[in-house]
Structure 1
Amino acid sequence: MHPMVKPALRRGWRDRGTVQFGMTPAHAVTLGPVDPATEGLLKLLDGTRGLASLRAESSRAGLPAARVDTLVARLTRAGLVDDARGGGPAAHALREKPDVLDRLRPDLASLSLVTPEPGGAPARLAARRALRVRVLGAGRVGALLASVLAGAGVGEIDVHDVGRVEPWDLAPGGLTAESLGDRRDAAARAAVRRAAPERPPRHAHRPGSGAGDPGFSLVILAPREDIAVHAPDPRAAEPLLASGTPHLYAGVVEGTGVVGPLVLPGESGCAGCLDLDRRDRDPVWPRLVTQWRSGRVRRVGACDLALATTVAGLAAAHALAFLDGRSPAGAGTRWEVCLPGLDWRTRPVRPHPECGCGAARRSKRERSSTDGGRRETMAVQRPSTERQRQAGAARPTGTWRAHV
């Protein structure tokens, strides 16, 4: 181990014996009392020395070697220590590509703040390179979303859509003016290649592979049609539910941005649950949906560029949180934001007992197994690769004090 205090956290002295790492309440940690000897050891924790070298430095300074181990252990428990050479073989392979790593350094720094274990951040970043994500839809939201995921280091992004690029499909970071008239999916895949920090796998496009291909870690449905955003057709997700593929919805409808739900098949509410719940609350819902789907489709929907960019960014953040093995807030929830107020609202998508997805039966079993009336927290399914099972416990929000 080559310990270093996480460089993403700014450092400041609150007084002569108390140092604070981090500025924001979510990540700030104060440590004290810090004597001059401990301050000297802190300066050595820069990732250039292993524990043996640090012990030798400590001895030369007249301090017991065990002082180093105690300090590193306590800083590690506080979530302040990273391992400059940790993360396993995949992380080492990433370090062998300095140009790629330099592109991803901001993402690595961000991961270090939410990954308490030393070496966890490079391991997660390296694991992204082995993931496969499919984006269904290459409009203002879908194409940009796919590019963001590629730029964040996800190794393979497969984009599917039909038709040709129209002027209203263009967006900064997504489809460009040079792609006008090209096939939408081909143009979106070109945008993904431009955004990626390294060349994606040659087999990224698999013509004829179904939406429910179990090889995908996540499928994102980002339709251009506004009715498909507002009332997603449950039948379109049947292959995903059958294959157990997690999927996320995102889009813009009539000046309203929508992200979610993130569907964990058999565990959280799906598009079918959403549809059945709406039928329960509004008896005329099926009649309206039938009219919307069979009516004349407007050529250009109300998809504000800034709102579409916001939706793509939030959806990408939810997707990355799931792919990194964390439990994002989008599971079983629709996030909605409307123009012009831009107030975000969350709407739960609860498992419906009449839906065939099975989530309601699981939820009922969990309620029956609770102790003392307390409901168990839903276990979020994580991607299956071993390198993605490294999610650590989140540190409580607020300033945390540790005596060193």
Structure 2
Amino acid sequence: MHPTLKPALRRGWRDLSTVQFGVAPAHAMALGPMDTATGSFLSLLDGTRGLPLLREEARRMGLPDGHVDRLLGELSQAGLLDDATGGGPAADALRKRSGAMDRLRSDLASVSLLTSEPGEAIERLAARRAMRVRVQGAGRVGAVVASVLAGAGVGRVEVMDGGQVEPWDVAPGGLPAEAIGERRDTTARRLVRQSAPDRPPRTNRATSPGSPSAGPSLWQAPTAENRAGLSLVVIAPREGLDAYAPDPVHAEDLLAAGIPHLYAGVIEGTGVVGPLVLPGSTACAGCLFRQRADRDPTWARMLAQWRSGRSRHVPACDLALSTSVAGLVAGHALAFLDGASTAATGVRWEASVPGFDWHARPVWPHPACPCGAGADVKGDRLTTEKERHATMAG
């Protein structure tokens, strides 16, 4: 082990005996009391020394025997310590790819804020390289999502869409202006390759994402397709209505295969992210439709009109809003892939121009939906929905 203080957290002395790690309240922590010699010793925790050398340096500084081990134990328990050589074989392989490692250092520092065990952050980052994600849609949202996931180290990012790149598809971080007239899927795949830190490692089915040996790859599904390596599908259609009110039929294959999927898009002046669907456990598109129909008896009629009478005009898709949606959905996707909890599970996030004020709207499993997530829900659904909303409002 080569201990190192997590570089993402800046240090400062609150007083003569108290050290604060971190600036922002979300991850800041103060430790004390701490004497001057111990404070000086902290500068040696930079990942360049193993434990024997650190103990020897501590003796030279006049620190008592056992002090280093106790200090490292406290720092580790507080989640402030990392291991510059930890993480296992996959992490070692990533470190050897210096170009990719340099591209991912900022991401590694960020992931370290969410891990407690030394070496866990780079283990998660290395596990991303073996994961496979599909993005359905290569518009202003989907193309940016794909490039962000690839740039953050997800090894295999597939993009599916049809048609040619239109001028209104172009977005910073997404499809470039010089691609206008080219096939959307071809251009998006080229964008993914350009965004990735390096080429992904070769894997076989025995160690593909979704199997226990692939690292913290979250969702274990009993189907052949999921075991083949598809960890997540991001559904980001260019037609915003398909994200705001997704057709349950289009997700039947994903539900049947047990593949997690996450919706995102822009409808008129509103951006939507979620829900993240864990088949059989959380609300799906069918639950979303039934929940809305319970509250609004005209919903099915209105939705049929909107779907059948789609305008041929270019749809509204504010660039700042679509970029915000892409960033948020990519963040939720990465959190899920890393095995962390995500606020998109069973929740839809919505924000509209010009305020960009994100609101969480719960999507509950519906007892009448064949997805099975609401099988344990009892009683009248409409009454249950009203009671839940009243409780949240209170």
TM-score, normalization by structure 1: 0.86
- SS of the residue corresponding to residue 13 of structure 1 reads strand
Does the 8 A contact of 1:214 with 1:243 survive in 2? no
2:81 is matched with: 81
Does the 8 A contact of 2:142 with 2:326 survive in 1? yes
Q: Deviation of residue 58 (structure 1)? A: 2.0
- SS of the residue corresponding to residue 250 of structure 1 reads strand
2:330 is matched with: 316
Give the distance between the partners of 2:36 and 2:377, measured in 1 at CA.
55
Q: Deviation of residue 226 (structure 1)? A: 2.1
Q: What CA deviation, in whole Å up to 9, does each residue of 1:336-381 have, x standing for no partner?
A: 00111211111101000000111112567xxxxxxxxxxxxxxxxx
Q: Deviation of residue 61 (structure 1)? A: 3.1
2:29 is matched with: 29
1:371 is matched with: none
1:167 is matched with: 167
- Structure 1 residue identity aligned to 2:156: E
Give the distance between the partners of 2:250 and 2:202, measured in 1 at CA.
28
Q: What CA deviation, in whole Å up to 9, does each residue of 1:5-34 have, x standing for no partner?
A: 111111111111111111111111111111
1:144 is matched with: 144
Does the 8 A contact of 2:367 with 2:374 survive in 1? yes
Using the aligned pairs only, state the percent identity: 65
Cα distance change on mapping 1:255 and 1:212 into 2, 3 Å: farther
Q: Give the alignment of 1:90-109 within 5 angstroms.
A: 90-109=90-109
2:317 is matched with: 303
Q: What CA deviation, in whole Å up to 9, does each residue of 1:299-349 have, x standing for no partner?
A: 311100110000000000000000000010000000000111211111101
Which of 267, 276, 297 is matched with 2:281 structurally? Answer: 267
Cα distance change on mapping 1:30 and 1:360 into 2, 3 Å: same
Give the distance between the partners of 1:112 and 1:201, measured in 2 at CA.
23
2:190 is matched with: 190
Cα distance change on mapping 1:141 and 1:90 into 2, 3 Å: same
Give the distance between the partners of 1:344 and 1:120, measured in 2 at CA.
31
1:16 is matched with: 16
2:264 is matched with: 250
Give the distance between the partners of 1:88 and 1:336, measured in 2 at CA.
40
Q: What CA deviation, in whole Å up to 9, does each residue of 1:25-63 have, x standing for no partner?
A: 111111111112212321221111111111122233333
Give the distance between the partners of 2:82 and 2:377, measured in 1 at CA.
38
2:293 aligned with 1:279: yes
Does the 8 A contact of 2:277 with 2:283 survive in 1? yes
Does the 8 A contact of 1:193 with 1:200 survive in 2? no
Cα distance change on mapping 1:125 and 1:202 into 2, 3 Å: closer
Name which of structure 1's ranges 247-256 and 335-344 shifts more when overlaid on structure 2.
335-344
1:72 is matched with: 72
Give the distance between the partners of 2:96 and 2:376, measured in 1 at CA.
45
- Structure 2 residue identity aligned to 1:79: G
Give the distance between the partners of 1:70 and 1:189, measured in 2 at CA.
50
2:363 is matched with: 349
Give the distance between the partners of 2:356 and 2:228, measured in 1 at CA.
36
Does the 8 A contact of 2:367 with 2:377 survive in 1? no
Does the 8 A contact of 1:18 with 1:32 survive in 2? yes
2:53 is matched with: 53
Q: Give the alignment of 1:326-337 within 5 angstroms.
A: 326-337=340-351
Give the distance between the partners of 1:200 and 1:191, measured in 2 at CA.
15
Give the distance between the partners of 1:30 and 1:223, measured in 2 at CA.
45
Cα distance change on mapping 1:212 and 1:300 into 2, 3 Å: farther
Give the distance between the partners of 2:170 and 2:234, measured in 1 at CA.
20
2:389 is matched with: none
- Structure 1 unmatched ranges of 5 or more: 204-209, 365-404
Name which of structure 1's ranges 58-67 and 256-265 shifts more when overlaid on structure 2.
58-67
Q: What CA deviation, in whole Å up to 9, does each residue of 1:208-230 have, x standing for no partner?
A: xx998862100000001122122
1:130 is matched with: 130
- SS of the residue corresponding to residue 359 of structure 1 reads coil
Does the 8 A contact of 1:156 with 1:201 survive in 2? no
TM-score, normalization by structure 2: 0.88
1:394 is matched with: none
- SS of the residue corresponding to residue 261 of structure 1 reads strand
Give the distance between the partners of 1:78 and 1:226, measured in 2 at CA.
44
Does the 8 A contact of 1:334 with 1:347 survive in 2? yes
Give the distance between the partners of 2:229 and 2:15, measured in 1 at CA.
54
Q: What CA deviation, in whole Å up to 9, does each residue of 1:190-244 have, x standing for no partner?
A: 11111111124799xxxxxx99886210000000112212210001111111011
Give the distance between the partners of 2:139 and 2:186, measured in 1 at CA.
12
Does the 8 A contact of 1:259 with 1:335 survive in 2? yes
**How many equivalent pairs are there?**
358
2:247 aligned with 1:239: no
- SS of the residue corresponding to residue 99 of structure 1 reads helix
Give the distance between the partners of 1:105 and 1:362, measured in 2 at CA.
44
Higher relative contact order (CA 8 A, sep 6+): 1
- Structure 2 residue identity aligned to 1:251: G
Q: Deviation of residue 4 (structure 1)? A: 1.0
Poorly superposed stretches of 4+, deviation over 6 Å? 210-213
Give the distance between the partners of 1:176 and 1:41, measured in 2 at CA.
50
Measured on the aligned residues, the alpha-carbon RMSD in Å equals: 1.7
